[in-house]
Amino acid sequence: MEEQAFVIALVGLLGIGAQWLAWRTGWPAIVLMLVAGFLAGPVFHLINPEAAFGEMIEPMVSIGVALILFEGGLSLDFREFRKYREGVWRLVVIGAPVAWVLGALACYYIAGLVWPVAILFSGILVVTGPTVVIPLLRQATVQQRPAAILKWEAIVNDPVGALFAVISYEYFRLSVGGATLFDVVPPMLMAAGLAGVVGYAAARMIVWAFPRGLVPEYLKVPVLLVAVVCVFVLSNGIEHEAGLVAVTVMGVALANMHVASLRSIHPFKQNVAVLLVSGIFVLLSASLDLEAVRQFEWRFGVFILVLLFLVRPLTILISLLFTTIPWNERLFLAWIAPRGIVMVAITGLFALRLEELGYGDGGILIGLSFAVVVATIVAHGFTIDLAARLLKVRGETRPGLLIAGATPWSIALAKEMHDLKTPVMIVDSSWQRLKSARAAALPTYHGEILNEATEHNLDLAPYQVLIAATENEAYNALVCSEFAPEIGTDSVYQLGEPGEADHRALPASLRGRALFASGYGVNEVSERQMAGWIFRKTKLSEQFDLENARESLPDAAHMLLLLKPDGQMRFFTHATAPEPAPGDTVISYSPPRQKTVDEGANKKPKPQIA
C-alpha cells in the first residue's frame, strides 16, 4: 500500500514537474516526461510500476488512453472539419492504408521482422496520437490549417490504427484454422461500427438528460467520466480495442451536439487530460525494460530513419495528390508525425499475444515501439518551430492582444499596439462600432465573442492577452470569466477595479484583472478620451529608467503596460507592478501636453515620447 502510494505521488510529481519545466524552458513536455520516467524507472530504480500495480497497470493505462481520446474528440467540431475536410478525409481514408502498407514493407525489409509481426506493427504505427500532437501544437506556433489537419489526423487515426492491429492479429490467429480475410475483416468492421453506435447512443443519452435537469450540476462531470469508462469497457467486450472507436465517436458526437451545459466542464476535462498524459507517459517510460533496450540493433535505427524520411513523406504526398493544399504545408505535414501513449500501450498488449501465437519477434516490439516514440518525439518536438519557420507555415510569433468591444478608447489602444507590431484584433457584434477601427486599418472581427462560432471562424491562438472594454462592466466580467480558463486568469483584463468594499459590486473572483493602478472604469476612460487624452510610448534604457519615464509624463498620466522586446505584455494594475528593464517600452495614458514658456525654457533633453 505504501509503495503504491509512493509510486503514485512520484509519478504525479515527475509528470507535472516535467510539464512545468517545459512551460518555463520551451522544451517539449513529452520529451521531458519520457526522460523523467526513464531515469526514475530503469536507471535509478526509484519506481517499478509492474511491481507496484501488477496486472492492474494495463487496464489503468487503457482507461487513461480512452479518457484522453474522448477529451480529444470533444475538440473536433465539424465546422472546423468543413473548412479543412480536403486534407483531413484524405489522410484518414487514403493516408492510413498507405501508411500501413509502406510501414509493413519497412518493418519486413529494413527492421527484419517476420511478415505477421511486420503487418501488425505497421498497423499500430499508423497511430500518431493526440497525446503528443496536441501538446506540440500548443507549444509551437503553427498556422490554422496545418495545425487543424494534424489534430484531426491524430485523433481519428488512433482507433483506425488500433483496428488495423486487431484485424491483423485476428487473421493470423484464425488463419491457422483455415480462416480467410473475408472471414475476419467484415466481422471486425461490424464490431467497430457497433462500437461507434454505442458511443453515439451514449452521447445522445447525455444530451437528452443534461439539459432537462435529470443530472444535477455537481454530478455532471462524474457522470460523464463514468459513462466514458463504461462505454469503453462495453465496446471492448464486443471486440478488442473497439472501445477506442466508441469513445472517439462519443466525444466527437458530444462536441457537435452543442450542449450548453457541457461548456462548464471544459476546464475540468482539460485538467484531467493533462494529468493523464503526464502520468501515463511517466509510467510507461518507467516500465521500460533495459533488456529490451539492449535488443536494439543497428537495423532498427535505419528503420526509424526510413520511417521518418521515407514512409511518412510518401504517405502525405500520395494522400494529398491533386489537392489545393500548398506544397509548403504538405512538406510540413510530411515531417510532423510523433507517436505516443496509444502506440506503446497497444504494442505492449499485442506483443504478448504474438508470443503466445509463437512469433518470436513479438518480444522485440516493446523496445522498438519505445525507440520509435522517443525518436519521433525528440525529432519533431525540437524541430517543429524550425520546420514551421523554414516552410513559412509559422503562425504569429509575437503575443497578440484580443480586445472585446470597439470604443474610442479601445480603438486608440489597438492602434498604439498595432504600431508597435503587436498582433491586435478588435471583436464587436456591432458593424457600426467597428467602423472607426476599420477606417484605421486595424484587424477586426464582426461577431459576438461569446458565440461558439467565433472560436471556429476566428483563430484565437495568436492572442495571449484579452482586454474586455465594452461599455458594460458586467458583460466585460462575463467575457473575462469565459476566456480565463483558456488564456489564463492572469491574462484577462477589464476596466474598473474590483468593488471589494461595496457588497453590491461584482466580486473580484468574477472579474478580469483591473487595468491601471488607479482602477479607471469605463466612464472614467470615456470622459478622458473625450477630453483628448492619448496613449504615449516611452523606450527605457540604461540611462533612462522607469522613474525618468514617470517624470517625463504629465502628473495626471497613468502607466498602462510594459511591452518587452519579445512582445510580452506586462500590465500595471492596482495589485501588481511589472519589473522594468532596459529595452522595454512603457505605454501610458495621459492628457494632452500643455506647453508653457517656462517649461520650454527649463526643459532638459529627454527621449522622444510619441
**What is the rounded distance in angstroms from the CA atom of residue 374 to the CA atom of residue 376?**
6
Domain limit, last residue, from 349, 366, 390: 390
Of the candidate ranges 338-352, 365-379, 460-474, the one whose mean pLDDT is the lowest: 338-352
Report pLDDT for 596. Answer: 47
Per-residue pLDDT tens for 175-211? 777 777 787 888 888 988 999 999 999 999 998 998 8
Domain limit, last residue, from 371, 390, 409: 390
The rounded percent of the chain whose pLDDT value lies above 90 is 32
Report pLDDT for 162. Answer: 82
- Judge if 381 and 437 occupy the same domain: no
Assigned C-alpha cell, 205 = 443519452
Residue 318 falls inside a structural domain: yes
The most confident of the ranges 165-169, 290-294, 334-338 is: 334-338
**φ, ψ for residue 402, nearest 5 deg:** -100, 125
Tell which residue, 317, 315, 250, 302, has the closest CA to residue 72.
250
- Judge if 228 and 205 occupy the same domain: yes
**What is the rounded distance in angstroms from the CA atom of residue 21 to the CA atom of residue 30?**
11
Can you tell me the mean pLDDT for 225-254? 89
Report pLDDT for 505. Answer: 64
Q: Is 50 exceeded by the pLDDT of residue 598?
A: no
- Judge if 438 and 577 occupy the same domain: yes
Rounded-to-5 percentages of helix, strand, coil across the chain: 65, 10, 25
**φ, ψ for residue 115, nearest 5 deg:** -55, -50
**How far out from the chain centre does Cα 92 lie?**
21
Tell which residue, 200, 189, 191, has the closest CA to residue 249.
200
**What is the rounded distance in angstroms from the CA atom of residue 152 to the CA atom of residue 73?**
9
Q: Is 80 exceeded by the pLDDT of residue 399?
A: yes
Amino acid in position 460: L
Max Cα distance, the chain (Å):
105
> What CATH number is given to the structural domain containing 426?
3.40.50.720
- pLDDT band for position 599 (cuts 50, 70, 90): very low
Which residue do the cell numbers 504478448 mark? 352
Tell which residue, 423, 443, 388, 406, has the closest CA to residue 569.
423
Per-residue pLDDT tens for 32-69? 888 898 899 888 888 888 788 877 877 887 888 888 88
Q: What is the DSSP string of 43-76?
A: IT-S--HHHHHGGGHHHHHHHHHHHHHHHHHTT-
- pLDDT band for position 362 (cuts 50, 70, 90): low
- Judge if 140 and 268 occupy the same domain: yes
Report pLDDT for 328. Answer: 93
| Number of other CB atoms surrounding residue 60 within 10 Å | 15
Long-range contacts of 165-168 (CB under 8 A, 24+ apart): 165/120, 165/123, 165/124, 165/241, 165/346, 165/350, 166/239, 166/240, 166/241, 166/242, 167/123, 168/116, 168/119, 168/120, 168/123
Q: Is 60 exceeded by the pLDDT of residue 13?
A: yes
Residue 38 falls inside a structural domain: no
Sign of the dihedral through C-alpha 199, 205, 208, 209? negative
Report pLDDT for 296. Answer: 63
Tell which residue, 116, 336, 129, has the closest CA to residue 244.
129
Domain limit, last residue, from 372, 390, 408: 390
> What CATH number is given to the structural domain containing 245?
1.20.1530.20
Residue 445, strand partner residues? 427
Can you tell me the mean pLDDT for 286-296? 68
Residue 250 falls inside a structural domain: yes
Q: Is 50 exceeded by the pLDDT of residue 448?
A: yes
Report pLDDT for 361. Answer: 64
**How far out from the chain centre does Cα 336 lie?**
15
Using only the alpha carbons of the chain, give its radius of gyration. 28
Can you tell me the mean pLDDT for 139-168? 85
- Judge if 298 and 417 occupy the same domain: no
- pLDDT band for position 408 (cuts 50, 70, 90): very high
**Better pLDDT: 80 or 143:** 143
Cβ atoms 61, 284 nearer than 8 A = yes
Per-residue pLDDT tens for 107-128? 999 988 888 889 999 999 998 8
- Judge if 181 and 326 occupy the same domain: yes
Can you tell me the mean pLDDT for 250-262? 80
Q: Measure the CA dihedral 169/175/177/180, to 10°.
A: 120
Tell which residue, 455, 453, 439, has the closest CA to residue 402.
455
Query: Number of folded domains in the chain?
Result: 2
Cβ atoms 588, 535 nearer than 8 A = yes
Can you tell me the mean pLDDT for 211-221? 86
Report pLDDT for 368. Answer: 85
Report pLDDT for 76. Answer: 78
**How far out from the chain centre does Cα 517 lie?**
33
Can you tell me the mean pLDDT for 236-265? 81
Tell which residue, 603, 599, 550, has the closest CA to residue 572.
550
**How far out from the chain centre does Cα 70 lie?**
14
Find the domain containing 495 and state its range. 400-602
